[in-house]
């Protein structure tokens, strides 16, 4: 992606570790490298995890999350930040405070709540912190339909019209842009919708892919958005590029033989 005369983007992930390497920090750093960015990580939680699921979570103390954030921001130029698993309300607050202090240009908030295997990656009482402290700092948020419903405290969208209404409601809560991911819509069509404040919504049509390699796709997409945004003109171009790249990573996964459960994509 990088033209030789362009600066290499510096991308930071603030997220949880996946010992199995398919999601979280590990997926993010692989994605940053694949898309020409220099990657950094602030780890919020360790998970003991493989392709069959999460067996344990060990959150990092919020003061230590702060210490990692101060270490990277005080020394290194950071062009974009991606937020993933934040585990609890204290970590949400530590991250919000730090983003307010350091004001990075692009902040992609992946509103991670529950792993595909059903394990909670965010305590339920931390959802309010994401809504009140992080949405107003977000350049883009990337909720799937259950996450959008949790943030808005309403029923999950079943149609594209409902998706659009909920996207508008999330903009009204302060996010500058929202990528509503349609993977949970009923049926074979599962478009994503991009809503940017003050612009017409844009649809990215998609059909469900018959694959078992979906572990970490949400993490990978939001990391790709953070890596690519400094290299693209706007969010529409960034989403287009990131989604095309993710489709290829899902196709590449057919060559991987990792684990016995929901397999990861190949970055």
Binding of ligand PLP by 216 (CB under 6 A): yes
Binding of ligand PLP by 23 (CB under 6 A): yes
User: How, if at all, do strands 10-18 and 38-50 pair?
Assistant: parallel
The strand order across the sheet containing 202-204 reads 53-59, 38-50, 10-18, 80-83, 106-109, 140-141, 177-180, 192-196, 202-204
CA distances from residue 30 to 13, 116, 159, 178, 190 in whole angstroms, order as listed: 11, 20, 34, 24, 26
Among 9, 59, 84, 230, binds ligand PLP (CB under 6 A): 84
> Residue 214 catalytic?
yes
CB 231 within 8 A of CB 224: no
> Residue 181 catalytic?
yes
Binding of ligand PLP by 18 (CB under 6 A): yes
- How far apart are alpha carbons 86 and 62 in whole angstroms? 10
Mark out the alpha helices in the chain (DSSP H runs).
24-34, 62-73, 89-102, 127-129, 145-152, 160-172, 217-228, 235-252
Among 218, 229, 235, 239, binds ligand PLP (CB under 6 A): 218
Least spacing, CB of residue 191 vs ligand PLP, in Å: 20
> Which pair of structure tokens corresponds to residue 232?
């693209």
> Residue 219 catalytic?
yes
> Residue 154 catalytic?
no
Touching ligand PLP, residues 106-125 (CB under 6 A): 112, 115-116, 121
Give the number of residues in contact with ligand PLP, rule: CB under 6 A.
19
Question: Per the residue annotation, which of 24, 30, 181, 220 is the catalytic one?
Answer: 181
CA distances from residue 125 to 13, 85, 130 in whole angstroms, order as listed: 23, 14, 10
Least spacing, CB of residue 95 vs ligand PLP, in Å: 14
Binding of ligand PLP by 15 (CB under 6 A): yes
Binding of ligand PLP by 85 (CB under 6 A): yes
> Residue 216 catalytic?
yes
> Residue 218 catalytic?
yes
Nearer to ligand PLP, 59 or 167 (CB): 59
Catalytic residues: 181, 214, 216-219
List contacts with ligand PLP (CB under 6 A): 15-16, 18, 23-24, 47, 49, 84-85, 112, 115-116, 121, 215-219, 262
């Amino acid at each position: 992606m990088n033209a030789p005369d362009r600066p290499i983007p510096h991308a930071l992930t603030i997220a949880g570790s996946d010992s199995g390497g398919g999601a979280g920090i590990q997926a993010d750093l692989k994605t940053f490298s694949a898309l020409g960015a220099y990657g950094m990580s602030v780890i919020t939680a360790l998970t003991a995890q493989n392709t069959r699921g999460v067996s344990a979570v060990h959150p990092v103390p919020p003061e230590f999350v702060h210490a990692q954030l101060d270490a990277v921001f005080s020394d290194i130029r950071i062009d974009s930040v991606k937020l993933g698993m934040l585990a609890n309300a204290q970590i949400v607050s530590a991250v919000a405070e730090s983003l307010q202090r350091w004001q990075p240009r692009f902040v992609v908030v992946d509103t991670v709540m529950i792993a595909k295997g059903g394990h909670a990656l965010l305590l339920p009482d931390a959802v309010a912190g994401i809504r009140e402290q992080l949405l107003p700092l977000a350049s883009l948020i990337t909720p799937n339909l259950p996450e959008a419903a949790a943030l808005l405290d309403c029923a999950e969208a079943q149609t594209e019209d409902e998706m659009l209404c909920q996207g508008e409601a999330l903009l009204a809560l302060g996010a500058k842009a929202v990528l509503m991911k349609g993977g949970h819509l009923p049926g074979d069509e599962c478009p994503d919708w991009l809503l940017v404040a003050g612009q017409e919504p844009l649809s990215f049509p998609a059909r469900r892919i018959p694959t078992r390699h979906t572990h970490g796709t949400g993490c990978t997409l939001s990391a790709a958005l953070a890596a690519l945004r400094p290299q693209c003109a706007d969010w529409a171009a960034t989403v287009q590029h990131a989604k095309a790249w993710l489709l290829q990573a899902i196709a590449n996964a057919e060559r991987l033989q990792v684990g016995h459960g929901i397999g990861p994509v190949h970055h």
